[in-house]
Chains A and B, each alone.
Chain A
Amino acid sequence: MSSAPYDQVQTLYRTLLVFATVAVLILAVGLVEFVHFEPPGQTTGAKARIVGVFAYDPAKGTTLGTDRSAFARTEEFAAVVDWSGLPANLTVDARWYDAFGSMVGRIGPSTPAQLGNFSIVPVKVPQGLRHNLPGHYTFVVERLQGGVPVEVLGRRFVLVESS
């Protein structure tokens, strides 16, 4: 009895399929991660009112001037949130993210009522640096569930200019 010689390309092919199966599992884990942090159907309809983004005086803890969308990197700035319009039973917080996605300012989490007196959310200069890093900054007011942010109730973008 004779048999055709085994083609070793088939070994390569099967090995590739095994790697591809692992790859599909990795992508599936990524998808699960995405759904965990972006759970569908999490819309309450609540909207946070972001009063504006203003220059900030850290010594006095107050904002200055008018609502702006761009700042020099040497300027300090903060967002002002009106918590009063949000339902009292929500757990919320407010965060600043810089262009690298690092959190550079936060207030909360707590209920809107407890946060009522903390309407100013300043951006903190990263440790070891003298000024803010340039780029697009994102400010978000989020609703949390089980300690995880699940819904953005308000969002603002600000540009920190490089010069």
Chain B
Amino acid sequence: MSTSSYTTPPAANPHPRLRPGRYGIAVAIAAVVVITLIASSLLNYVYLDTIPGRTSLYGLLAVALIALGTYIGVRAFTRDRASRRKHLIRAGVLLGLGTLLWLLVIDIFVFTQSAGPVVAAICALACLPTTAFGLFVVRRMDRNEKEPWRLVLVAAAWGAIVATSLVIWGETLWEQTAQRTLVPGPGLDASTAFSAGLLEELAKGLAVVLLFLVMRNDFDDVVDGIVYGAAVGLGFNFLESVAYMTNLYGIFAPEGIGWYAAGLQWYGRQGLGLFFGHTTYTAFIGAGLGIARQLPHKRQKAFAIVSGFVIAIAAHFSWDAWVQFFPIDNTLFGLVEIHLRTLIMTGPFTAALIALLIFGIRYEAIGLVDQFRKEAATGSGAILPEDVPVLASPWRRLKQRLRAFQRGGLRAYFEVARLQSAQLDLAMERWHRERQEIDMPLEAEDALRQRVIQLRHWVPAA
């Protein structure tokens, strides 16, 4: 639900006097993240391999720019129309600079060492369409109320840039300590898998936690949690794919099979594993947060959040630790084995996630239909009784928009889409209020209702 998306009339609650306590938690987490990044970068630079050390040191500026740009960008949507554009431009410039700087750092200090910037750019370009497709599909999963693109992209960007920066130091430190103290073999593999599962899922999960704390109006339930978590996972998977592809190209190019090695990585991570690996893992964290969002008791909320993290860590761990027990033959049958391995090892987790998603969508739909009916019964005019069956069905909503398109072209299509979206927002707001899981004032709901009525005047009879 996004009261913050509508600023004509002004946002329902643009300058709340009293901010909920969760903002304090969010600030504390952000501060810990920033301090950890600074400390780890300095430690890495001084004590560890200079290449990742330099990456994280110089990458700090990029992370700071991304964080500041994200903050300004997200907050811009709660401002009035006059100042929103100015803030969006500022956010765009900062995000652009941060992204460019980060890519520069990655290219120069990591990939260029082994394969050169051209190879890194080609690998990144190869991963862009698949990751974009993944984000499109993930966002479409929320059939009733799609999340704003800006937040889905923010989640993916944080997964790609901030989360990867957070884990560089931890994993390097863990790996180097383990290699110096443990017996090589399954024990060391298990230790490395614990490191990856624990550190990477915590780093990715922080982004979802921050969205949960700060963007509560756009974080409604388990479905939203799965969408945001999956988006973070896709972002992380993007950068990891680029890193592995470039690295393997550098290793195998002298043998004449550099592109083959990079291509196999691309297929494994961006084709076969696009929705199975990181996407599934982090989506579980989002699912836990989404379920916690609607639970009445603090103890249950805490259990749900911890459960999401534990499932994500276990899923990630099981792949990293036990993938060696499914060796791939160097024959044609190896191609079948690659697919079977992914299906057997990660498939059950993805299936479990899909089960949560389907149940979540159905539960959300039941809640919304109930609120459509109740709002229609008030006679406010925001939702009419004849709107209810249309709003209840994604297909009927689409048909209504297509009819508008036939009558009045694209403009009419989007006007009807905005009206439907506003009606869904209103129903979602009502649902949360009825369940006593909202901290926005009642004025926010009234503003949404007025917004719907206003849109209804603009839209010709659907």
Chain A residues proximal to chain B, CB less than 8 Å: 8-9, 11-13, 15-17, 19-20, 22-24, 26-27, 30, 33-34, 36-38, 73, 95, 97, 101, 128-131, 133-135, 138, 140, 142, 149-152, 155, 157, 162
Q: A38: which B residues are within 8 A, CB to CB?
A: 182-183, 187, 191
Q: Given contacts A27-B314, A30-B321, are A155 and B180 in contact (CB under 8 A)?
A: yes
Q: Is B424 an interface residue (CB 8 A)?
A: no
Among A8, A135, A151, A155, contact of B363 (Cβ-Cβ < 8 Å): A8
Among B179, B190, B313, contact of A34 (Cβ-Cβ < 8 Å): B190
**Interchain CB contact under 8 A, A30 and B310:** no
**Interchain CB contact under 8 A, B183 and A142:** yes
**Interchain CB contact under 8 A, A101 and B184:** yes
Q: Which residue of A lies closest to B301 (CB)?
A: A13
Interface centre among A27, A128, A152 (most CB of B within 10 A): A27
Give the distance in Å from the alpha carbon of A5 to the alpha carbon of B363 in the complex: 14
**Interchain CB contact under 8 A, A16 and B251:** no
**Interchain CB contact under 8 A, A12 and B291:** yes
**Interchain CB contact under 8 A, B187 and A33:** yes
Of residues 348 to 382 in B, which have CB atoms within 8 Å of A's CB atoms? Answer: 352, 355-356, 359-360, 363, 366
Chain B residues proximal to chain A, CB less than 8 Å: 113-114, 179-180, 182-191, 193-194, 222, 250-252, 254-255, 284, 287-288, 291, 294-295, 300, 303-304, 306-308, 310-311, 313-315, 317-318, 321, 330, 352, 355-356, 359-360, 363, 366
Among A12, A26, A34, A131, contact of B314 (Cβ-Cβ < 8 Å): A26
**Interchain CB contact under 8 A, A19 and B352:** yes
Main secondary structure of the interface of B (DSSP, over half): helix
Nearest CB of chain A from residue B152's CB, rounded to whole Å: 22
Nearest CB of chain A from residue B120's CB, rounded to whole Å: 15
Q: A133: which B residues are within 8 A, CB to CB?
A: 251-252
Q: Which residue of A lies closest to B253 (CB)?
A: A162
8 more CB-based (< 8 A) A-B contacts, given A157-B179, A162-B114: A15-B359, A34-B191, A36-B186, A37-B190, A101-B189, A138-B179, A152-B183, A155-B180
Interface centre among A17, A23, A135 (most CB of B within 10 A): A23
Q: Which residue of A lies closest to B113 (CB)?
A: A162
Q: Given contacts A24-B314, A73-B254, A131-B255, are A37 and B295 in contact (CB under 8 A)?
A: no
Give the distance in Å from the alpha carbon of A9 to the alpha carbon of B330 in the complex: 48
Q: B188: which A residues are within 8 A, CB to CB?
A: 37, 101
**Interchain CB contact under 8 A, A12 and B186:** no
Q: A138: which B residues are within 8 A, CB to CB?
A: 179, 184
Q: Which residue of B lies closest to A140 (CB)?
A: B184
Give the distance in Å from the alpha carbon of A41 to the alpha carbon of B451 in the complex: 70
Give the distance in Å from the alpha carbon of A16 to the alpha carbon of B308 in the complex: 7
**Interchain CB contact under 8 A, A150 and B183:** yes
Q: Given contacts A9-B291, A9-B363, are A33 and B321 in contact (CB under 8 A)?
A: yes
Q: Which residue of B lies closest to A100 (CB)?
A: B251
Interface centre among B250, B314, B355, B359 (most CB of A within 10 A): B314
Give the distance in Å from the alpha carbon of A114 to the alpha carbon of B303 in the complex: 57
Give the distance in Å from the alpha carbon of A15 to the alpha carbon of B352 in the complex: 9
**Interchain CB contact under 8 A, B184 and A95:** yes
Among A20, A130, A135, contact of B310 (Cβ-Cβ < 8 Å): A20
Identify the 9 closest CB pairs spanning chains A and B, nearest first: A37-B187, A23-B314, A20-B307, A38-B187, A26-B314, A34-B190, A23-B311, A9-B294, A37-B186
**Interchain CB contact under 8 A, A30 and B300:** no
**Interchain CB contact under 8 A, A135 and B251:** yes
Nearest CB of chain B from residue A145's CB, rounded to whole Å: 11
Give the distance in Å from the alpha carbon of A135 to the alpha carbon of B114 in the complex: 11
Give the distance in Å from the alpha carbon of A33 to the alpha carbon of B315 in the complex: 16
Among B113, B183, B307, B317, contact of A17 (Cβ-Cβ < 8 Å): B307
Q: Given contacts A16-B308, A34-B191, A129-B255, are A9 and B183 in contact (CB under 8 A)?
A: no
Give the distance in Å from the alpha carbon of A142 to the alpha carbon of B251 in the complex: 29
Q: Which residue of B lies closest to A102 (CB)?
A: B324
Give the distance in Å from the alpha carbon of A150 to the alpha carbon of B314 in the complex: 26
**Interchain CB contact under 8 A, B314 and A16:** no
Q: Given contacts A11-B359, A34-B191, A37-B183, are A17 and B303 in contact (CB under 8 A)?
A: yes
Q: A12: which B residues are within 8 A, CB to CB?
A: 222, 291, 356, 359-360, 363
Interface centre among A8, A12, A37, A149 (most CB of B within 10 A): A12
**Interchain CB contact under 8 A, A20 and B255:** no
Nearest CB of chain B from residue A124's CB, rounded to whole Å: 16
**Interchain CB contact under 8 A, B291 and A13:** yes
Give the distance in Å from the alpha carbon of A16 to the alpha carbon of B191 in the complex: 26
Q: B294: which A residues are within 8 A, CB to CB?
A: 9
Q: Which residue of B lies closest to A15 (CB)?
A: B356
**Interchain CB contact under 8 A, A19 and B311:** yes
Give the distance in Å from the alpha carbon of A157 to the alpha carbon of B359 in the complex: 52
Give the distance in Å from the alpha carbon of A133 to the alpha carbon of B253 in the complex: 11
**Interchain CB contact under 8 A, A9 and B295:** yes
Give the distance in Å from the alpha carbon of A8 to the alpha carbon of B254 in the complex: 58
Give the distance in Å from the alpha carbon of A36 to the alpha carbon of B190 in the complex: 11
Nearest CB of chain B from residue A95's CB, rounded to whole Å: 7
Among B308, B313, B356, contact of A27 (Cβ-Cβ < 8 Å): B313
**Interchain CB contact under 8 A, B313 and A23:** yes
Give the distance in Å from the alpha carbon of A13 to the alpha carbon of B293 in the complex: 11
Interface centre among B183, B251, B311, B355 (most CB of A within 10 A): B183
Nearest CB of chain A from residue B296's CB, rounded to whole Å: 8
